Amino acid sequence: MEDTRARITKDGIRIYEDADFAGMRQAGRVAAEILDMVASHVKVGATTGQIDDFIREEIERRGVISATIGYKGYQHASCISANHVVCHGIPGSPIPASKHEKTPRGNDRLVDGDILNVDVTVIVDGWYGDTSRMYIVGTPKPFAMRLIDVTHEALMRGIAAVRPGNTFGDIGFAIQSFVEAQRMSVVRDFCGHGLGRVFHAPPNVLHYGRPGAEAVLEEGMFFTIEPMVNLGRPETKTLSDDWTAITRDKSLSAQFEHSIGVTATGCEIFTLSPANRFHPTWG
């Protein structure tokens, strides 16, 4: 079994073979295609429960597997995190009142101006494709639009730092230095992760750090970069459902996630949007 011969670095990071890139490419494409299709389901009056139902049906229709259903007791095919929900928002659960809402809406129905992150992970032939992106309901507030742009740019700057010989600290620094120069903050309580034939593997991919810190990047490493950026303070708290993470100061939060593989000269993004819809204002 090739598994037993796989090289693992001293930091516990698996080095995959050339042929393994094909598996990740397939899994990443399926996840990205599903997120492309989600766009038309995000509108005023839709519910996050309906969006998750669509994602579950689409995963079934394609004959692939949801990595999140049954993961640590999680029951849904996606995480849908609206407004000041940082990550792991549960589809179908009431959207928490933002600091701009006087009364809780008490349901999962989207209203004009909401922003949401939808995060999908599928397993295709044993390979994990994990990606998330932002969606806008109706007309966004200018500050929400700016948060989305900065978070997207932060991910792309992190990805631009990926090449053999650079370090994970270089990725974190590229993200943190950009975000903080925009007077926004990087969430510390959640990070990216190695993946491949498993969902979450070493290393923890921090979205903050110092140049040259952490493990050295090598060709064949597979991992996610998935920065969460807040308009206010970086601290989070988890609600009593044990999943939903919100900003402590109830400021707006955004996130984008790609799964990538390190190549000889840089990296390959496995979860590029086939319809070029990764950013909500594209396509």
* Chain contacts with ligand MF3 (rule: CB under 6 A): 68, 71-72, 74, 79, 88, 119, 121, 130, 224, 226, 257
Residue 140 or 227 having the CB closest to ligand MF3:
227
Q: Which option in ligand MF3, Co ion, none does residue 71 bind, with CB closer than 5 to 8 A by kind?
A: ligand MF3
**What are 142's two structure tokens?**
């200018």
CB 90 within 8 A of CB 243: yes
Residue that is written with structure tokens 């979205």 in the block? 207
d(CA 178, CA 206): 14
Per-residue b/e over 239-275, b at no fewer than 16 CB within 10 Å? eeeebbbbbeebbbbbbbbbbbbbeeebbbbbbebee
- Asked whether position 253 contacts Co ion by CB under 5 A, the answer is no
DSSP code per residue over 70-91: TGGG---S-EEEETTEEE-PPT
Q: How far is the CB of 266 from ligand MF3 (least distance, A)?
A: 22
Q: How far is the CB of 70 from ligand MF3 (least distance, A)?
A: 9
Region binding Co ion by CB under 5 A among candidate stretches 64-72, 118-126, 202-210, 273-281:
118-126
Q: How far is the CB of 139 from ligand MF3 (least distance, A)?
A: 28
Q: Which option in ligand MF3, Co ion, none does residue 79 bind, with CB closer than 5 to 8 A by kind?
A: ligand MF3
- Asked whether position 224 contacts Co ion by CB under 5 A, the answer is yes
Q: Which option in Co ion, ligand MF3, none does residue 58 bind, with CB closer than 5 to 8 A by kind?
A: none
d(CA 51, CA 109): 11
